[in-house]
Structure 1
Amino acid sequence: MQDTTSQLDAATANTAPDEVRRPALSPSRASDFKQCPLLYRFRAVDRLPEQPTKAQVRGILVHSVLEQLFALPTAERGPERARALLGPTWQRLSAEHADWLELFAGANDEPTATESWLASAEALIDGYFELEDPTRIEPEACELRVEAELASGMLLRGYIDRLDVAPTGEIRVVDYKSGAAPREIGEAKAMFQMKFYAVVLWRLRGEVPRQLRLMYLSDKQALAYAPDEAELRRFERTLEAIWDAILRAGKSGDFRPSPSKLCNYCDHKARCPAFGGVPPEYPGWPEPNPGDESALDRAD
């Protein structure tokens, strides 16, 4: 997590405006295509706007506070200091993204609604401190942008919440989740993201991460997983198959809907032919880059 750049802008902050970037696959976009190819198209090709939720924005706020916490000297990384960062961080984020304030518009008592929401973010920060002691951790990087090209020529790109590297070289990938620990389907989706990062780090550093750690701040649970090289090879082939399918759909424009219970939470349901809607005219495969994800994508 970078001090001077909000998470929302992190996906483009490291790219010069005139720099042409190759199409790449991110964890969020891969998950979109697996869930529903048409959803992938709406987000990555049409780039249709979506209204963020309070939960998503809260996740960005909490991530930003934890980023700033690890930028402090070790002895200062206490709960009180983290809580003190919440208000100023929200002021900065809401100034940068004024539309987020609309989430609280119309409330009977808007100041109280915002205060209650900030209190829920504070509870997540407190939950973090019940899972680990940041004074005993010195990450190699926070909000680390990673990019790796596979032997097939496919490009993987994403952002890692935190990367810990032991003095002996073992790698741990840490991801903060502001929601509660998921059931089986949600856990599989979260672990898909973590294996994605594991493949990227393995190809970049030649070292299979020793541990993938998911920290669910809401219910104060942590899930840890230790991948092996054979598993990452199989997962790499899975990613290549997803990307091949995306490229085939991109050439033809045939991104088909895949209806499920998740459709009830989709911002684009009215445009979906599975529900009588009409998608926008297909604009063609985007250049230079249909694979990026924003902080809202990464917020749970």
Structure 2
Amino acid sequence: MSAPLPTANTEAAPAEPEVRRRPALSPSRASDFKQCPLLYRFRAVDKLPETPTKAQLRGTLVHSVLEKLFALPQAERQRDRAQELLVPAWSELSEQLLPEWMELFGGDNAENADKTEVDAWLRSAGKLVDAYFQLEDPARLEPEACELHVETELGSGVLLRGYIDRLDVAPTGEIRVVDYKTGAAPREIGEAKAMFQMKFYAVVLWRLRGVVPRQLKLMYLTDGQALTYAPDEAELRRFERTLEAIWQAILKAGKTGDFRPNPSKLCAWCDHQAHCPEFGGTPPAYPGWPEPDAGEETALDRAD
């Protein structure tokens, strides 16, 4: 099951009572708070809108294609077949996108989007799919799950929740966590954030299954490289304490409203400069700690 994208409301539906979910911590929101507490507030508490880039949507599309590829019989998981999945996957994705997102392609829906722009964008996604086949042969693999939703509660009461791109389990029980990366973040920053995400998943799986994952594997499709890492139990215990500390810091900031900006090079990519004091902006009035459920990641969160 893929994490949801925000969708356009095409027809009125009867109002349903809001279901309050217990607050949880996701790797993306934990990373947001580490990077900049004010960014966490804008995304998890204020829920300010953000318009994705074509690169983010391309990452979401590539993730969808690879998910569909592994749903095929092993013998059919070939390069040409993967390319054939691009257009149907884009058709599905475009139906979910908000009209303002489709403006990235010169229209407000797939039918009136600029065909030249869309075709060029699809070709760029196709290159990333091709790059995947340079890293491994999917016909030789049989993952236990793709787009796996995972959730667990730590002994301290912190609820962790997220989505894993792919989970491989060997006949002997060893676990490998695989994540596809298609973004263009600066490599040293991007790898640090990605490894934080992977250790988060490793902790969740360790607590769910009682097994420390044998390998965490990041597949960088832009440059056709793979990064692997083998965590150990002592490291995951330390990382678990880090997650607990982050959640306690979030709760403390939530009670007081003191989510401070933390300027860095990443500010250049932030959508919220107009609301940030570091750029002369003013945050919205603090609505109070609403016990937000920041544990549900969107597909865009995971398309970096």
TM bin (shorter chain)? over 0.9
The answer on 1:225 being equivalent to 2:229 is yes
Question: What are the within-5 Å matches in structure 2 for residues 70-149 of structure 1?
Answer: 70-99=70-99, 100-105=101-106, 110-149=114-153
- Structure 2 distance, partners of 1:95, 1:183, is 32
- Structure 2 distance, partners of 1:31, 1:274, is 20
On the 8 A contact 1:181/1:221 being kept in 2, the answer is no
Distance 1:251 1:261, change over 3 A: same
Normalised by the length of structure 1, the TM-score is 0.92
The alpha carbon displacement at 1:20 in A equals 3.1
Identity %: 75
Greater Cα shift, 171-180 or 55-64: 171-180
- Structure 2 distance, partners of 1:26, 1:160, is 11
Question: What are the within-5 Å matches in structure 2 for residues 255-294 of structure 1?
Answer: 255-287=259-291, 289-294=293-298
- Structure 2 distance, partners of 1:196, 1:63, is 20
- Structure 2 distance, partners of 1:277, 1:9, is 26
Greater Cα shift, 179-188 or 233-242: 179-188
- Structure 1 distance, partners of 2:297, 2:211, is 25
- Structure 1 distance, partners of 2:215, 2:17, is 36
The alpha carbon displacement at 1:290 in A equals 3.1
**1:102-154 deviation per Cα after TM superposition (whole angstroms, max 9, x unaligned):** 11118xx9321211110000000000011000011101000000001001011
On the 8 A contact 2:5/2:96 being kept in 1, the answer is no
Instruction: Classify the secondary structure of the residue corresponding to 2:132.
Output: helix
The alpha carbon displacement at 1:17 in A equals 7.1
Q: 2:245 aligns with which of 241, 245, 252?
A: 241
The alpha carbon displacement at 1:291 in A equals 3.1
- Higher relative helix content: 1
Equivalent residue for 1:210?
214
Unaligned runs of 5+ in 1: 11-15
Equivalent residue for 2:65?
65
Normalised by the length of structure 2, the TM-score is 0.91
Distance 1:181 1:225, change over 3 A: farther
Equivalent residue for 1:166?
170
The alpha carbon displacement at 1:86 in A equals 0.3
The answer on 1:40 being equivalent to 2:44 is no
